[in-house]
Structure 1
Amino acid sequence: MKNNKDTYVLIGLGNPGSSYSDSRHNIGQKIVSMYIDKYHAKFKKQNNLLIASMKIHEKQIFCLQSTEFLNNSGKSYYNLINKEGVQNDKIILIADDIDINVGKLLIQKSKSHGGNNGIKSLFTYINDEPLLRIRIGVGRPNIDGKASFDPEEVSKWVLSNPSKEEKENLNKILVQAILSIDTIIEFGIDFAMNKYNGLNQ
């Protein structure tokens, strides 16, 4: 295995298929798609991954989406991470987060999956050093005026599409998320946390 300090892996979590493409759970994939569009890159299919490779700020970047469902996607991500010798502090994982309000983001170093099955799947394979997370708030379902913690309601919520009002809030944060990726790569995670987390208080 290589030990590559100048290579980043950018993972956008989500499920495959058009029926899920606009769901809350696919926000990570949407951000990665927008990011590669910004740099006029293209995905190429390799095994169970869509991979776009590019050079940014003199760093090699692999942008990844899985063609498998979230629960089973970890092994494919790990195979590329292991092959390229990418360290955990160069893995940028973007996913929706029900414990953050809609239209907010949180950048952090984390070893926690936060209940997200896609992150759980990846953590099955990689070592337990913290990786870099961009958490995109989608909020929790509201049942009778209260945030719901019921697993069935939460599952339906993340697999469904956001409302028109939510989309307006999310569209603003998608732009911030894309800018934050470049900031992490060029200036580091601590600089990015100080810059973007403060905007979302």
Structure 2
Amino acid sequence: MKFLITGLGNIGNEYAHTRHNIGFDVVAAFIQKHGGSFKQDRLAYVSEVKWKGRIFICICPTTFMNLSGKAFKYWMDKEKIGLENTLTVLDDLALPIHKLRIRGTGSDGGHNGLKSIQETVNSVAYAKLRFGIGNDFPKGMQSDFVLGKWTKAEEPIIKNKIEKSVEAIEIFATQGLNAAMNAVNNYAFD
């Protein structure tokens, strides 16, 4: 059983640990928990993690957000992983900061990383773990907000959500999509 776990974000120190890069941070936390490490490879930082008889190919694309689909498709094809065994982790403005949501299908919701994947695989039917970042910003300031760092008040919530997201990846791979959805979709973080 092989899975492709993709964290969406942008490479470069100026993007590290920003709201838009939470996909990178979740995948890095999963890899760290399971004793793996990243290496730079074709179109992505890649780590192979083995856990409970499963192989996780974990990627953080180095293509920048708008071309995430190139890395996603390359590693899916290279590792011969079916679309149903992929989970993509991303930030979501439409979800409040205290929420996570997993779905097995669904639109890109205006997220350029998802739009790129959707165009590349010609489908919306792949699992997504949406990490709520809220939308607490003045009109016209969306870009600054998304590319900004977490506030001190948000950090404890984010730490808990990252841990729960790692758990969701594990549940997705061992018990399936429905179990992962049940574990996180109604969970509220304080």
Do both proteins adopt the same fold according to a TM-score greater than 0.5, normalized to the shorter chain? yes
- Cα displacement (A) at 1:123: 1.2
TM normalised by structure 2 equals 0.93
8 Å contact kept, 2:100–2:161: yes
Secondary structure of the structure 2 residue equivalent to 1:179: helix
| Structure 2: tracts of 5 or more residues without a match | none
Q: State the number of aligned residues.
A: 189
| Equivalent position of 1:3 in the other structure | none
**Mapping for residues 14-163 of structure 1, pairs under 5 Å:** 14-128=9-123, 130-143=125-138, 148=139, 152-163=140-151
Provide, for residues 141-197 of structure 1, a one-character-per-residue CA deviation record: whole Å limited to 9, x for no partner. 333xxxx4xxx4222211111211122221111111111111111110101111221
Whole-angstrom CA distance in 2 between matches of 1:129 and 1:20: 27
| Structure 1: tracts of 5 or more residues without a match | 1-5
Choose 1 or 2 for highest CA Rg.
1
TM normalised by structure 1 equals 0.89
8 Å contact kept, 1:109–1:131: yes
Whole-angstrom CA distance in 1 between matches of 2:187 and 2:75: 33
Structure 1 runs of 4+ aligned residues shifted over 4 Å read none
| Equivalent position of 1:189 in the other structure | 177
Which moved further from structure 2: 83-92 or 15-24?
83-92
Seq. identity, %: 28
- Cα displacement (A) at 1:129: 5.2
Instruction: Tell me how large the CA RMSD over aligned residues is.
Output: 1.5
Whole-angstrom CA distance in 2 between matches of 1:134 and 1:73: 15
Q: Please, which of 155, 158, 165 is the counterpart of residue 170 of structure 1?
A: 158
Provide, for residues 50-77 of structure 1, a one-character-per-residue CA deviation record: whole Å limited to 9, x for no partner. 1101222212210001122101221122
